C-alpha cells in the first residue's frame, strides 16, 4: 500500500508509525485504512518487537477529527464508528510494547488513540490532553468512555469528560494519564529508546503479560487468573524462559530471542 498520511518503518526492532495527516492528524477513513495496514505489517514482521506512535504535524499529536467536518454529521460518519473501534482495538491488542510520543495536543479521538498504547510520554509545553467533546454537546465515541476510567479511575475520568477538561502534561502525569514528561527536543529520542530497550526483553513473556492484563480487565478477575495459568504453562517451556533462568544462575546478562507471535 502507498501510504499517504502515515510514515512507517522498522528500525532496531522498533516499528515506528509517524502520523502525517495535516492539520490535526484526523482519524479519517484513509487514516484508518493505512493504520490498519501498519498494524498488519507489525503482526507479520519477525523484526518488530516494540512500537512507537508519533506525529509529524506541528502542534498536534492528533485531535481526532476536524471540527468543521462535524457540521455535516450523517449516517456515514456514524457507520464509521465500528471501524474506528476495530482498528484501535487491533492496535491495543498487538502482542508487543507500544509507546505514544505525544508531541502536541492530544484531544478527543487523539487521546483515545493514545489510550490504546501501553505507555504515553508527553513533551513539556507540547499542548493539552483531554476529551473535550461535551463542550460541543457530544460524547467521546472512539473508546474513551471505556479506556480513560481504567487508567485514571472512574471519578477523575467522569470529571474530565463531564467538564471537557483539557489538561497540561504536568496535570496528566499527576493522575497517571501519562507516564513521563520530556523536553520537546528529547521526546521522540526518549520514547524510541524506551521502546528499543523493551524490544530487547523477553517479548514472548511481555506479550503474555499483556494478554493476561487485558483479559482480566475485559472479562473479569477469574478469567484473568485462568489466562495467567494458561500463559504461565505456555511460557515456562519457551527458549527465553530457559535463557533467563540459566543467565540468572550463571550471573550473566540474558540474551533473549523474543517471540511475540502468540
8-25: b (≥16 Cβ within 10 Å) or e: bebeebbbbbbbebeebb
92, 112, 159, 230: the catalytic one is: 112
Catalytic residue among 133, 159, 185, 230: 133
Active site residue 112: yes
pLDDT reported for residue 80? 84
Q: How many CB atoms lie within 10 A of CB 81?
A: 12
Supply 186's cell numbers.
Answer: 528529547
User: Which burial class, exposed, middle or buried, applies to 127 when counting CB atoms under 10 A from its CB (0-12, 13-18, 19+)?
Assistant: buried
Amino acid 13: pLDDT: 96
The tens-digit pLDDT sequence of the chain (262 residues) is: 788 999 999 999 999 999 999 999 999 899 999 999 999 999 999 999 999 999 999 999 999 776 666 555 667 778 889 999 999 999 999 999 999 999 999 999 999 999 999 999 999 988 999 999 999 999 999 999 999 999 999 999 999 999 999 999 999 999 999 999 999 999 999 999 999 999 999 999 999 999 999 999 999 999 999 999 999 999 999 999 999 999 999 999 999 988 756 6
By residue count, the chain amounts to 262
Question: Looking at residue 70, what is its pLDDT?
Answer: 59
CA distances from 139 to 80, 143, 181, 257 (A): 15, 10, 28, 44
Q: Is 234 an active-site residue? A: no
pTM of the model: 0.93
CATH number of 6-199: 3.90.226.10
Amino acid at each position: 500500500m502507498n501510504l499517504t498520511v502515515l510514515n512507517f518503518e522498522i528500525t532496531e526492532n522498533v516499528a515506528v508509525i509517524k502520523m502525517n495527516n495535516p492539520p490535526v492528524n484526523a482519524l479519517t477513513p484513509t487514516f484508518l485504512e493505512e493504520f490498519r495496514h501498519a498494524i498488519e505489517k507489525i503482526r507479520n514482521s519477525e523484526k518488530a518487537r516494540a512500537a512507537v506512535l508519533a506525529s509529524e504535524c506541528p502542534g498536534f499529536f492528533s485531535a481526532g477529527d476536524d471540527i468543521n467536518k462535524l457540521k455535516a454529521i450523517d449516517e456515514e460518519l456514524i457507520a464509521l464508528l465500528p471501524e474506528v473501534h476495530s482498528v484501535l482495538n487491533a492496535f491495543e491488542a498487538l502482542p508487543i510494547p507500544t509507546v505514544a510520543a505525544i508531541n502536541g495536543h492530544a484531544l478527543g479521538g487523539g487521546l483515545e488513540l493514545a489510550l490504546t498504547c501501553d505507555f504515553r510520554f508527553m513533551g513539556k509545553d507540547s499542548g493539552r490532553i483531554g476529551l473535550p467533546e461535551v463542550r460541543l454537546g457530544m460524547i467521546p465515541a472512539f473508546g474513551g468512555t471505556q479506556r480513560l476510567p481504567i487508567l485514571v479511575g472512574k471519578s477523575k475520568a467522569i470529571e474530565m469528560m463531564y467538564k471537557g477538561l483539557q489538561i497540561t502534561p504536568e496535570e496528566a502525569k499527576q493522575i497517571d494519564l501519562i507516564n513521563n514528561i520530556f523536553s520537546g527536543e528529547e521526546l521522540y529520542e526518549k520514547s524510541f529508546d524506551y521502546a528499543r530497550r523493551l524490544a530487547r526483553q523477553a517479548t514472548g513473556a511481555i506479550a503474555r503479560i499483556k494478554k493476561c492484563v487485558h483479559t482480566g480487565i475485559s472479562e473479569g478477575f477469574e478469567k484473568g487468573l485462568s489466562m495467567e495459568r494458561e500463559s504461565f504453562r505456555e511460557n515456562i517451556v519457551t527458549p527465553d524462559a530457559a535463557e533467563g533462568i540459566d543467565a540468572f544462575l550463571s550471573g550473566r546478562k540474558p540474551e533473549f530471542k523474543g517471540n511475540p507471535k502468540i
